Amino acid sequence: MISHLSPDTRAALERAAMPDFARWQRMVYATGGCAQPVRLHGERLTFNGATGEILDIYRTADEPTGFLLTACGNRRASRCPACSAVYKDDTYHLIISGLRGGKGVPEDVGGHPRVFATFTAPSFGAVHAHRTGRDGKTLPCRPRRDSPVCQHGRYEGCGRRHERDDPQVGQPLCVSCYDYQGAVLWNAHAGELWRRFTQALPSTLARLLGVRRAVLRETLRLSYAKVAEYQARGLVHFHAVIRLDGPDGPTSPPPDWATVPLLDEAIRQAAAQIVIPTSEKSPDGPPVVLLRWGDQIDVRPVYVSADLDGVSDQRVASYVAKYATKGAESAGTVDRRIHDVGDVTRLDVTEHARRMIFTCFALNRLPQYQGLPLRQWAHMLGYRGHFSTKSRHYSTTLGDLRQARADHRAEQARLILGLPERDDRETITVQDWRYAGSGHRHGEAFWADDARQRIATARKIAREREVNGTAAEECPPLRTGQAVMVEKPRDCEEESV
């Protein structure tokens, strides 16, 4: 009968029949159903430092599996749905606590002026677009009555109505007219454009108010959290929550004159003044490309609940959290490095992405772009910045959120093992772990995904109960036993403003 099953199902059943399956499945639950977990060999010894009494010995050699599983911790949904879901949740809490308080941030922060701003790249050539009218109906892409053609004989207009998921969206009308060099160089400098913007914003505010920057610093502080997103045309753009606080950050009220319109004006002026030349100007050298933000900077106030002209804090937090788990793959490219230019022709990417990748490799050879690691970041279409960054005082940190989770798990494990309290200074733990491989083996991926889905369902039910006013129950306790999760630093960086 088993011969009628698909190879994957058969592999999953074979895995389930193995003697170590029950223990392995518990471990995979402890990783949240990670899609590419890391296997570790090693041991951990817990003893009383004063008496030398050994309280607990854990060795992977004693495990039925022979190893311990830990989660990969990858933020990208395309790489690991389980770990990225955790990252998304954490990012949501990080953003929302900076908008309405919580996680150590006072609730008064909800009254501070703040906006949700979107910074976009300029145009590098016409691309097919999904456009909608006021009634929500899809409009023609680029209607032109006179049907003009470009110098390559291609139509400059397009009368089709592209739906949002149409693969044509974001693809150039004429690949020969499209400025691939400009697009790739813009991506390569997008992180620097953002950095210079954050530097320019406080001085622009000071100028608008007619005070010196040092004076402003005594009364006002700027906080932000930003996320990078790829548009269909392969260019990154940034979404940022930008907030005005008093001198001590979210715990202190901003002065009365710090308002949303002032912040809005300062953001637009600061962004407009930034220009980055791609190389030094020299009389016989190649022409210098000047990079700047596109004109379409969108700034909207953030309200606690949805408002006519603004956006709601929950929507902003969900939006940022969603994009924090995406990479360049949403622009039709691949989510890992390309080592050889010869591989580019074989990649399963859109033609537009392929041309951007080739342009990265081509520009990388030119002396004026030697300082840019375009080759290493070709799969990112030139962008090499962080996907999410925040200023130090925005709210809590992902590190603190992870630590709280790790502490909770350690406490559960301690109770299961009957070990002394963690703050007992006499208790000393020594551990030694070695890498023993990663990813799932024969028949395991099925069960890992099953675990991930069960955990996601349990979380969803718990969240719905919370919303409905019933006390949220803890997820069914997973007997994690002695499993530990190694949390790694991910793609979020702290910046100081």
CB of 140 to Zn ion, least distance (A): 8
| Residue 267 or 401 with smaller CB distance to Zn ion | 401
| Residue 189 or 440 with smaller CB distance to Zn ion | 440
Among 4, 137, 152, 164, interactor with Zn ion by CB under 5 A: 152
The rounded distance, in Å, linking the Cα atoms of 120 and 457 is 36
Q: Beta-carbon neighbour count of residue 214 at 10 Å?
A: 8
Of 359, 437, 425, 417, the C-alpha closest to 182 is 359
Is the Cα dihedral 57, 60, 65, 68 positive or negative?
positive
Alpha carbons within 13 angstroms on the beta-carbon side of residue 57 total 5
Of 262, 260, 268, 271, the C-alpha closest to 307 is 260
Q: What totals of helices (H) and strands (E) does the chain contain, helices first?
A: 10, 15
Reported in sequence order, the residue ranges of 146-268 that DSSP labels E, i.e. its strands, are: 221-230, 236-245
| Binding region for Zn ion (CB under 5 A) out of 133-141, 205-213, 391-399, 419-427 | 133-141
Interaction with Zn ion in 44-73: which residues (CB under 5 A)?
71-72
First to last CA, the chain: 66
| Binding region for Zn ion (CB under 5 A) out of 141-149, 183-191, 340-348, 366-374 | 141-149
| Binding region for Zn ion (CB under 5 A) out of 81-89, 264-272, 304-312, 320-328 | 81-89
| Residue 28 or 190 with smaller CB distance to Zn ion | 28
The rounded distance, in Å, linking the Cα atoms of 117 and 225 is 10
CB of 156 to Zn ion, least distance (A): 8
CB of 237 to Zn ion, least distance (A): 20
Q: Are 291 and 197 in contact (CB under 8 A)?
A: no
| Residue 31 or 278 with smaller CB distance to Zn ion | 31
String of contacts with Zn ion for each residue 169-198, x by CB under 5 A: -----x-xx---------------------
| Residue 127 or 267 with smaller CB distance to Zn ion | 127
Q: Does 80 bind Zn ion (CB under 5 A)?
A: yes
| Binding region for Zn ion (CB under 5 A) out of 135-143, 280-288, 371-379, 420-428 | 135-143
Q: Six-digit token pair at 96?
A: 């929302």
| Residue 80 or 324 with smaller CB distance to Zn ion | 80
The rounded distance, in Å, linking the Cα atoms of 333 and 330 is 7
CB of 84 to Zn ion, least distance (A): 8
CB of 423 to Zn ion, least distance (A): 31
Q: Does 128 bind Zn ion (CB under 5 A)?
A: yes
The rounded distance, in Å, linking the Cα atoms of 403 and 110 is 25
| Residue 166 or 495 with smaller CB distance to Zn ion | 166
Question: Do the strands 38-48 and 427-438 form a parallel or antiparallel pair, or are they unpaired?
Answer: antiparallel
Interaction with Zn ion in 284-343: which residues (CB under 5 A)?
none
CB of 148 to Zn ion, least distance (A): 11
Burial of 374 (0-12, 13-18, 19+ CB in 10 A): buried
CB of 399 to Zn ion, least distance (A): 18
CB of 9 to Zn ion, least distance (A): 23
CB of 294 to Zn ion, least distance (A): 20
Among 11, 16, 139, 150, interactor with Zn ion by CB under 5 A: 150
| Residue 129 or 302 with smaller CB distance to Zn ion | 129
| Binding region for Zn ion (CB under 5 A) out of 151-159, 189-197, 281-289, 355-363 | 151-159
CB of 74 to Zn ion, least distance (A): 5
Residue type, 369: Y
Q: Are 125 and 178 in contact (CB under 8 A)?
A: yes
Q: Does 141 bind Zn ion (CB under 5 A)?
A: yes
Q: Does 132 bind Zn ion (CB under 5 A)?
A: no
The rounded distance, in Å, linking the Cα atoms of 310 and 99 is 14
Among 12, 28, 30, 34, interactor with Zn ion by CB under 5 A: 34
The rounded distance, in Å, linking the Cα atoms of 447 and 16 is 9
The rounded distance, in Å, linking the Cα atoms of 329 and 336 is 9
Those residues whose C-beta lies under 8 Å from the C-beta of residue 460, and which sit 6 or more positions away, are none
Residues at the site binding Zn ion, with contacts judged by CB under 5 A: 34, 71-72, 80, 83, 128, 141, 150, 152, 158, 160, 174, 176-177
